[in-house]
Structure formats: C-alpha cells, structure tokens
Chain A
Amino acid sequence: MISFQNVSFSYPDSERPAIQNINLEVAPGTLALVIGESGSGKSTLLRCVNGLVPHFSGGSLQGNVRVNGLDPVQATPKVMSRHVGFIFQDPEAQFVVDRVEDEIAFALENFALPAEEIRMRVAEVLDLLSLKALRYRRLETLSGGERQRVAMATALVMRPEVLVLDEPTSQLDPKSAHDVLETLVRLNRTLDLTVLLAEHRIERVLPFADQLIALNVEGNGGISGPPRQVFTQTDITPPVVTLGKELGWQPLPMTVEEGRKFIPDIESRTPKSETIPTPVSHKGEPFLQIHDLEVRYGNQIILDRVNLDLLQGEILVLMGPNGAGKTTLLRTIVGLLQPAKGKVIAGGVDISNKRMDEICRAVGYLPQDPNALLFADSALEELMITLRNHAGKMDAAGEQEADRTARALLERLELINQADDYPRDLSVGQRQRVALGAITVTKPKTLLLDEPTRGLDYGAKQSLAQLLRGWRDEGMAILLVTHDVELAAEVADRAAILKQGKISSCGDPSRVMRSSVRFTPQIARLFPYTDWLTVQDALIGIRQIFS
C-alpha cells in the first residue's frame, strides 16, 4: 500500500536532510506506529505520504514514494486527499467553517460532488464516528477529543484508503486521547483502513500496532518491522518494555498484561510489607500554605475548601480528572483569580491583597501554553524582558547584572547555545525551557507548572525532570500539575489528587498513585504489592530480592 524507496528530503533552508535513506513498506490494513525523538523526521515522513512534502513545504525530495500505486509528488495533495486522510496535532487549527456538518462537507464541496452525494456521505461518516449528536453543534463548543474526531470525519468522508495522524492526542487530556485512539483502532479493524500514526505516548496503541517504525535523530535509515523486533533496537520504550529488555524477558512484553506472566517468581519472593528507604529529604518548611480555599465561577463551586501545603525543597505532583479544578487552583495561587473564601499564604505573607507583579516575583507559574509568553527576538531577550518588567528603569550597571543573570540561567537550562535564536523557531522542549527561564529568572521560591508535558518527547521530558530535580535540591517548592503518570512517578516527592474540587488524597506517591488505576504507572500496575513506581525502582528492588 505504502512504500518508500531510498527516500531523502531536505527543507528549503537547511543543509541537513530531514530524512535520509528511508526504506519501508506498509501493507494494506496495517496499523503502523511511527516513533522517534523530536527532530527525527516523523512529521516529514508522514507528510510524504499525501504529498504535503514537497508540494506545501518546498525543498527537494529524492527517491520514490508510492501510495496505492500513486506517486504523491506527481499527483499533488489535491488528488492524494481522496486516498490519504491527514489529521494534525492541534485540534484548534484545522477548521474552516464553524459548524460540524458544514466542516465535514467542506472537503467534498471542493470536489464538486453533487449535493445529494454529499448529504449521504456526511450522514454515513457521522454515524461511523458516533458524532450524530454533535451534527449541528458549533465547533468552538466541542472538547478537544470531539474536535479531533470531527477532524477524522472530515478526512474519512472522502473514503480514503489510508489515514495518517501526526501526534493527534498530544494536546488532549487522557480521556479524550483514549476516545480518539479507541476510535482509530476500531476504524482500522472494521474498515480495514491502513493507519499511520506518530505518537509519543504509545502505551495505549501498542497492543494494537502491527508495525513499528522507529526514526532516529541522525535521520538515516530508520527501522521498520513488528513491534517486538524494533523495540530491541531502539531506546524509546514504554516502562514495561524497558524493564523487560533489562531483565531479558522473552517474548518481550508489550503491555502490563503481557508483563504479568513474568511476575510470579518475583512476587513470591517480595516481602509484602517492606518499605524501601526513602531518599534523603530536602524538604523544609512549608512555603505555600493554602487554607480552606473556595473558588467559584458564577454559582458553580470549582474549588471546595482546598487545604494544601507545599514544602520547600519538594516536588508535589497534583493529578486529577479533567475539569477537577487543577488549573483553577494554580491560577488562584498566582493571583489571576480571586477566591471567594480562604487564603493563600506564600512565604508567610498573605498574597490575596498583593499585586500580580509582586506575587510572581516569588511564585513562578508556567501556563499550559508557553507560546503565549514568547514574543522577543532571542531567548536571552525573553529573560531580559522579565527582568526589565520587574526592575523598571535599569542603568548600565543594572543591565549588565541582568545580562549576567540571564545568561547563567540559560546555561542551566542548556540553552546557552540558543541564546540568540528566535524562540518560536526552537523545538517544543526548547521553547518550554525558554518560557521557564522567563518566569524563573527572578529566582522565585516556588514554581507552579501546568501540564508541561504536552507535545514533549521522551528526551525533553527527561531534561525537564532533571531541571526540576536540580531546582528542588536548591530548596525550591515545586507544584507540578500533570496527567502524565510516568513523569509523575519519576519526579514526585509527594502526590495529591484533586477530584471535583476537593483534595481526595495527599501523601506518599506510591500510595496515592495506586489509589486509582488511571493514576497508576505501568510499573506500579505490574507490581501492585510493592511501592515501586519507576523502572529504576523496580530494577533496584528486584536486584535486592535476588541478591
């Protein structure tokens, strides 16, 4: 169905090729996963399939791509759109019209199909994707997951043979992501649709993947084959697979269920009540104290008498279902929202009467979309802008001092080589670090992060974890809101769950995260009777048992 022969491609302005010597075949009806770090060429590869590369992007393409016998380069994206449907990452940026029904019909209108035919196909695809209830709704009233399903409908209404998706769930919360992927798997199975999917969080789709394509940052070659085979040759693996590789489990387990087969002899030797000694605590006095906080939106209570303490030198991970009020909590702490009752005390000072710019000198807040922060011409300038905001007028000596501070921070953020680069051209991970720099350059005592893992690849997440640990060791109080349980497992000193506006549990991560399946990392699900959360925990623990 899809074949790449010796395909290489360079974007118009870069000397380095984005992909090099790609050879692979995807058979009809396959669900193929494309994995790889940022910059490895996943997006480029996907866009070769429907001709966006090179027609939309420019640049020079070598080699042969064939999709169902067609050459996308010759056929142009317009023709290819009848054979290949493409879904993009951002659920907000794909739509032309504001109603679901009209949007789905848009593609067909482009091809001048008769109105009756359009009507029939629209009804058909609404049924297929269970979108009938949303037919007359305005797109802006839909959730991210619903919007991605509408995007899938707009692609499927053309009756393509192939569906290509470029990180469709990276901007979505777990439930929406689950819905989208479940729909995708169903389509693959029932319609025999060939699916090509690039994702970072592959655990959900892995059980259904027939083929895995792994690209590496050098951009050459790329490995393609059945998942078990490819995993042995790449490092980007989910925790259960990593553990399996380390312990030499055969056949390599893809999911927690498969991994359980190898547990019995370990389980039998695990003393059930043993507690692993906690690492040296950096925790100090509470820096942030939240007393009986109540926040309303109109008549609705969003936060219902929340009590929480954040200690110096700790990373507290806050999790919870979508809409529970996590973002509201962060915004109230930093002063963007006024509570109806209760108060927030930071460093011994009640901040409810303070001005925003005073608060944010001590409380750093990284919003969900860091792009809203960035507008300067260089990374260094971004940090300087924050310093100037706080300092007002600076004389020459002040400017020099600020410059030094900013550069030191850039060093720490591993961005010193990008100091003069235009921030919006950097990768997602780098942009996030610039944003972090912009809010931590005032050396705040506490840091609040709102869902920082969106769109980050594995390497970027590790960098972030390292950065946070470094700050924590220096005594910063960090509150991390995330639904990425694996990252939470890596960095959490304490964990808390916010459900329906109330803190339902707070304390030791291994206990809190096991309280509900949706917050439990893979390793914890594999070893429910221990308090292991990460691969490291498991390896240390297992080696202890067997030594």
Chain B
Amino acid sequence: MTKRFSTSRLLSFLTYGVTTSMGLILFIYPFLFPALTQKSTLGQARLTEMPLLITLLLALCLVVLLYEVQGQAVDTKLIALLGILVAINSALRFMEVAIPGPAGFSPIFFLIILTGYVFGGRFGFLLGVLTIFVSAIVTGGVGPWLPSQMFAAGWVGMSAPLCRPLVNKLDGEGKISEVIILAVFGALWGLGYGVIMNLWTWPFIAGPTDQYWQTGISWVEILQRYGAYYLITSLAWDFIRAAGNFLLILLLGAPTLIALRRFKHRFTFTYRSSDSQGSKLDQTGDAS
C-alpha cells in the first residue's frame, strides 16, 4: 500500500515538475535561444512558425497538467462548487463594465487566489484555468492567447497555498497579517501575469528577427530589448492590475475568507452507517 502511495506521489511530482519547467522554458525561450542555436543556420521558416508552435506546446503542456490535477475522482460537491464559482468569476470578468475600473484591472484573480488558498492548489488551478476558458467561450473570445492565459491563471491559483506557511509563521489565520500577505501575493501575481502574457505576445508582435534575437547575441541584450518592449506596451496595465488585486484582497479579503471557510466545512462530511461498528467512510472535499 505504501509502495503505491509513493509511486503516486512520485508521478505527481514528476508531472508538476515537467509541466512547470516546460512551461517556464516555453515562456522565456526568447532569452535562451540565440545562445542555444548559435551554431545553426536555421532558415527563416523556423522562426516564423515559432510563436504558434510555442502556443501549441503550451496547450499540450496544459493538457497534461490538467489531467494530473483532475485526479482520480472529483467529488460531486466540488464539481458543483467549481461550476458555480467559475460562472461567478467569469461574470465578474465581463461585468466590470457595470462597475468601471481602469484598463488592466481584472477582478478574477481575487477569487482565484483566495479559493486556492482556502481549498487547495488543485482547486485554485482549476478555477483559474476554467474561468479563462469559460469566459472566452461565452464571449466569443477563443484565440491563440488562451493556452498562455489559462496556464498563467492556473499557476496563480495553484501557487496560492504557498502563502500558508508564511501566514502560520506570523500571526496565523483570521488576523490582518493573513490578508496583507495575500494582498501582496495578489500584487506580485498581478505583475507576474502581465509579464508572462507579454512574454508570450512578444515574439508575435516583434516578428521573427531583429527585435528579439539575432544568432549569437547575449541574453543580457535580449533582456534590454524586452525591457523596452514591456515598458511601451504593458507596464501601465500590469501596474493597474497589481494595484487592483492588492486593493481588492485588502478590502474584501477578510469577509471572503470567513465565508469560504464556513463553507469549506460543509463540503466535507462523514458518513456513518447505522450499525456504528461498521466502517466509517471519510470523504473529504479538500482538494489540496
């Protein structure tokens, strides 16, 4: 029994590791490749197809990761809960026109981070990925940007439990420090999400040569060029997103955490059969 248990954990670790590192490489390849391909005499063909191919690889990476996260069995309660929360989050995404916010401000990360934090990384991942997916389908916004957006949003949710040890080390749950930590986390990811998406769009916008690589140039130079691109295009947006996340979590985080924790309790239960000597089937809905 323990042997199978550790195989499972090993596979889990392997999958998360491979997909995460692959994802990272696929996003930052503009910085790595000139050095790598220094010796090659690739024709332009290779370069023109790169952005789309990267997107395809990202999509497949996501496919594998999604399979792993979905897991062996998904509880009916969790499916229902995810379905409803994805709906609410998607509605918030395109409802921000009713409550106006500046461009870049995106209310979806608020729930993704908080539910990932309370219900676990798997839950946060699924909420992130599916919010993007569902809101894209429903608004007719399916496009090649989806895999990157889904991946990035999934990472946001999946990494939220990382705040837990820090919170425990400080004041613990239910204190103001918890909300502050989560708010800072939200701000960082507000920037991070923008950086990732921007990295993905860069090769598209910049075109295959000149802008980001010539064979043989150093990665420092590339970083400089990317910096310029980033400054011009998305810094303002990302800053607003980061600030928006920070404020939303700071102001609304505490009551939301209370509500989520209250319900977390209801999504787990113990069933005892009438003959109390019988087996106690413990089924938890905790998706960490």
| Cα separation A12 to B272 with both chains bound (whole Å) | 10
Does any Cβ of A come within 8 Å of B145's Cβ? Answer: no
Does any Cβ of B come within 8 Å of A499's Cβ? Answer: no
Contacts of A73 in B (CB 8 A): 273-274
Contacts of B83 in A (CB 8 A): 96
Does any Cβ of A come within 8 Å of B5's Cβ? Answer: no
| Cα separation A55 to B276 with both chains bound (whole Å) | 15
Contacts of A58 in B (CB 8 A): 269-271
Contact B270 A12 (CB under 8 A): yes
25 contacts between A and B (CB under 8 A): A12-B269, A12-B270, A54-B271, A54-B272, A55-B271, A57-B269, A58-B269, A58-B270, A58-B271, A59-B271, A59-B272, A60-B272, A60-B274, A60-B276, A61-B273, A61-B274, A62-B274, A63-B274, A73-B273, A73-B274, A96-B83, A375-B255, A377-B255, A377-B258, A422-B262
| Cα separation A62 to B255 with both chains bound (whole Å) | 38
Contacts of A422 in B (CB 8 A): 262
Contacts of A62 in B (CB 8 A): 274
Seen from chain A, the residues whose Cβ lies within 8 Å of a Cβ on chain B are 12, 54-55, 57-63, 73, 96, 375, 377, 422
| Nearest CB on A from B134, distance (A) | 12
Residue of B whose beta carbon sits closest to that of A63: B274
| Nearest CB on B from A30, distance (A) | 26
| Nearest CB on B from A392, distance (A) | 18
A-B pairs with the 4 shortest C-beta distances?
A58-B269, A60-B272, A61-B274, A62-B274
| Cα separation A512 to B27 with both chains bound (whole Å) | 73
1/0 per residue, CB under 8 A from A, across B120-142: the answer is: 00000000000000000000000
Contacts of A59 in B (CB 8 A): 271-272
User: 18 other contacts beyond A58-B270, A58-B271, with CB at 8 A cut-off?
Assistant: A12-B269, A12-B270, A55-B271, A57-B269, A59-B271, A59-B272, A60-B272, A60-B274, A60-B276, A61-B274, A62-B274, A63-B274, A73-B273, A73-B274, A96-B83, A375-B255, A377-B258, A422-B262
Residue of A whose beta carbon sits closest to that of B80: A96
Seen from chain B, the residues whose Cβ lies within 8 Å of a Cβ on chain A are 83, 255, 258, 262, 269-274, 276
| Cα separation A377 to B262 with both chains bound (whole Å) | 11
Residue of B whose beta carbon sits closest to that of A74: B273
Per DSSP, are chain B's interface residues mostly helix, strand or loop, or mixed? mixed
| Nearest CB on B from A65, distance (A) | 10
| Cα separation A62 to B276 with both chains bound (whole Å) | 10
Contacts of A54 in B (CB 8 A): 271-272
Contacts of B272 in A (CB 8 A): 54, 59-60
Contacts of B255 in A (CB 8 A): 375, 377
| Nearest CB on A from B265, distance (A) | 9
Residue of B whose beta carbon sits closest to that of A60: B272
| Nearest CB on B from A96, distance (A) | 8
| Cα separation A73 to B274 with both chains bound (whole Å) | 9
| Cα separation A471 to B270 with both chains bound (whole Å) | 46
| Cα separation A270 to B148 with both chains bound (whole Å) | 82
| Cα separation A288 to B16 with both chains bound (whole Å) | 66
| Nearest CB on B from A462, distance (A) | 31
Residue of A whose beta carbon sits closest to that of B265: A13
| Cα separation A40 to B7 with both chains bound (whole Å) | 50
| Cα separation A62 to B272 with both chains bound (whole Å) | 10
| Cα separation A60 to B274 with both chains bound (whole Å) | 6
| Nearest CB on A from B137, distance (A) | 12
| Nearest CB on A from B46, distance (A) | 44
Residue of A whose beta carbon sits closest to that of B269: A58
Contacts of A63 in B (CB 8 A): 274
| Cα separation A57 to B255 with both chains bound (whole Å) | 26
| Nearest CB on B from A184, distance (A) | 27
| Nearest CB on A from B228, distance (A) | 47
Interface centre among B255, B270, B274, B276 (most CB of A within 10 A): B274
Interface centre among B258, B269, B270 (most CB of A within 10 A): B269
| Cα separation A55 to B258 with both chains bound (whole Å) | 27
Residue of A whose beta carbon sits closest to that of B268: A58
| Cα separation A377 to B174 with both chains bound (whole Å) | 14
| Nearest CB on A from B8, distance (A) | 26
| Cα separation A59 to B262 with both chains bound (whole Å) | 18
| Nearest CB on A from B238, distance (A) | 31
| Nearest CB on A from B4, distance (A) | 26
Contacts of B273 in A (CB 8 A): 61, 73
| Cα separation A55 to B269 with both chains bound (whole Å) | 9
| Nearest CB on B from A422, distance (A) | 7
| Cα separation A60 to B255 with both chains bound (whole Å) | 32
Contacts of B270 in A (CB 8 A): 12, 58
| Nearest CB on B from A277, distance (A) | 54
| Cα separation A221 to B262 with both chains bound (whole Å) | 33
Interface centre among B83, B258, B271 (most CB of A within 10 A): B271
| Cα separation A60 to B270 with both chains bound (whole Å) | 9
| Cα separation A225 to B271 with both chains bound (whole Å) | 32
Contacts of B271 in A (CB 8 A): 54-55, 58-59
| Nearest CB on B from A58, distance (A) | 3
| Cα separation A368 to B274 with both chains bound (whole Å) | 41
Residue of B whose beta carbon sits closest to that of A11: B269
Contacts of B274 in A (CB 8 A): 60-63, 73
| Cα separation A272 to B272 with both chains bound (whole Å) | 66
Residue of A whose beta carbon sits closest to that of B259: A375
| Cα separation A422 to B273 with both chains bound (whole Å) | 30
Residue of B whose beta carbon sits closest to that of A54: B271
Contacts of A61 in B (CB 8 A): 273-274
Residue of A whose beta carbon sits closest to that of B281: A55
| Cα separation A73 to B279 with both chains bound (whole Å) | 13
Residue of A whose beta carbon sits closest to that of B79: A96
Contacts of A55 in B (CB 8 A): 271
| Cα separation A62 to B273 with both chains bound (whole Å) | 8
Residue of B whose beta carbon sits closest to that of A377: B258
| Nearest CB on B from A519, distance (A) | 38
| Cα separation A57 to B77 with both chains bound (whole Å) | 11
| Nearest CB on A from B30, distance (A) | 42
| Nearest CB on A from B194, distance (A) | 32
